[in-house]
Amino acid sequence: MSMKKVLVIASLFGLVSVAAAARAESIGEVDTVFKMFGPDHKIVVDAYDDPAVAGVTCYVSRAKTGGMKGAVGVAEDLAEASIACRQVGPIAFAHPLPRQEEMFSERISLVFKKLRVVRMVDAKHNTLVYLTYSDRVVEGSPQNSVTAVAVDHATPIPLKK
């Protein structure tokens, strides 16, 4: 096998592992509004492992629109979400972190709206801060939620220079 093929295969495996790291794990859901046709409106809770910080998981709750539009995937979900990130194991860093970067995003309407989670580093307090909000092509939503995970001072957060 040529070196070029080996590099292409390794790159593909790397892309698959990165995509898998950002994938949501469904934790649960509750119905909020009964819909005669199609699924009910719900609040869903998903877990996301931080792909750059081992030992941190973020739990995001958000509204999910049901009905016929929700059933066929054309409904626009509300721009309301809540986040709670927790240390779930020993914290380790895959690489130095930028002061701010998007950890993951998920489409919440057919074309225009995304739910985003951004990780920020508070170097002074050795803390990871996570912000969730939604945006649209034309205008975003001021509704947001923030949470923080304090990292033991024995493990300084490595920052990109």
Task: Give the per-residue SS3 of 26-54.
Answer: EEEEEEEECCCCCCCEEEEEEEEECCCEE
Closest among 44, 47, 39 to 117, alpha carbons compared: 47
Residue 62 has what pLDDT? 82
Residue 133: CB atoms within 10 A of its CB come to: 19
Interatomic CA distance for residues 69 and 40, integer angstroms: 11
Residue 81 has what pLDDT? 82
Residue 134 has what pLDDT? 80
Is residue 56 within 8 A of residue 91, CB to CB? The reply is: yes
Asked if residue 51 belongs to a domain, the reply is yes
Asked if residue 3 belongs to a domain, the reply is no
Asked if residue 45 belongs to a domain, the reply is yes
Asked if residue 17 belongs to a domain, the reply is no
Asked if residue 19 belongs to a domain, the reply is no
Asked if residue 10 belongs to a domain, the reply is no
> φ, ψ for residue 2 (rounded to 5)?
-75, 160
Residue 106 has what pLDDT? 76
Boundaries of domain holding 126: 24-150
Residue 3 has what pLDDT? 39
Residue 19 has what pLDDT? 36
Residue 159 has what pLDDT? 97
Asked if residue 130 belongs to a domain, the reply is yes
129: which DSSP letter?
A: E
Query: Where is 16: in which H helix or E strand?
Result: helix 3-21
Tally of structural domains, the chain: 1
Task: With 0.75 as the threshold, say if the pTM is over it.
Answer: no
Asked if residue 156 belongs to a domain, the reply is no
Question: Which residues of the chain carry a pLDDT beneath 50?
Answer: 1-21, 74, 137
